[in-house]
Structure 1
Amino acid sequence: MRVVFLPEVEDYLVELSELLHQKEYFGFKENAVKYITELVLEIKTSLHKRIKKDAPPYFDRYGKGMKYVTFKKNKTTQWYVFFSIYEINNEFVYLVRYVSNNHIASHHL
């Protein structure tokens, strides 16, 4: 099992750590980077174990036939990870196509 992020998802996560610091969700940039790093690590290590749901048609703009799972990080924020699953050389590859949170995407689910 392998988890791969699209380049635009990787870019978004880097920008997100900057934004979380700029908007003062985290007082120190290092804490914002740590938060995103821990989220990515959790995605890589547990995505395949989570209960998968079919992504609603609204998210087809990021890929057809995707699944999604949730990652709750604190009392107010839950992350949604949208992905496709491929089997390549007898290995399952999870391609993360989009990441969002309940503050942005939940009304589409």
Structure 2
Amino acid sequence: MGEVIIYYRPQVITYVNELVFSLYKNHYFGFMEDALSYKDKLLDFIENNISDFPYKTTPFTLVHFGSYYMFYNSTKRTTWYIFFEKKDDKYLVTYISNNHQPISGFLL
């Protein structure tokens, strides 16, 4: 297996950066540093696990988000769904959502 290369769609980067401000603004975290740490843990999980974490094929109704997805349990109440495309050792993260969004009802 070669070097794993991970790319992110610009929309994903924008979403993750806006997430930090939203979590802080809506008082999920009392300090901006904690919201940044939460984001960093999500991205670290992707970077460290996308190539070997068991992934699933995206259901047909959601395939426009990406062909595959994996999940990350960040807290007892929040599961993140990371959608992506892959070819050999190259990955493109195409969309990120969580179990608090309606699309989670379509995922196993």
> What is the TM-score when the length of structure 1 is the normalising length?
0.88
- Point out where structure 2 has 5 or more consecutive residues left out of the alignment: none
- Point out where structure 1 has 5 or more consecutive residues left out of the alignment: none
Residue in 1 that maps onto 2:64:
61
Q: Please say which of residues 18-27 and 54-63 is displaced more in the overlay.
A: 54-63
Matched, 1:42 2:42: no
> Structure 2: which amino acid aligns with 1:94?
Y
CA RMSD of aligned residues (A): 1.1
Runs of 4+ in structure 1 over 4 Å off: none
Within the candidate set 78, 93, 96, 1:96 is matched to 93
Mapping of residues 1-109 of structure 1, within 5 Å: 1-63=4-66, 66-87=67-88, 92-104=89-101, 105-109=103-107
> Structure 2: which amino acid aligns with 1:32?
A
Q: Partner of 1:49: helix, strand, or coil?
A: coil
Q: Distance in 1 between matches of 2:22 and 2:34?
A: 12
- Number of residue equivalences: 103
> What is the TM-score when the length of structure 2 is the normalising length?
0.89
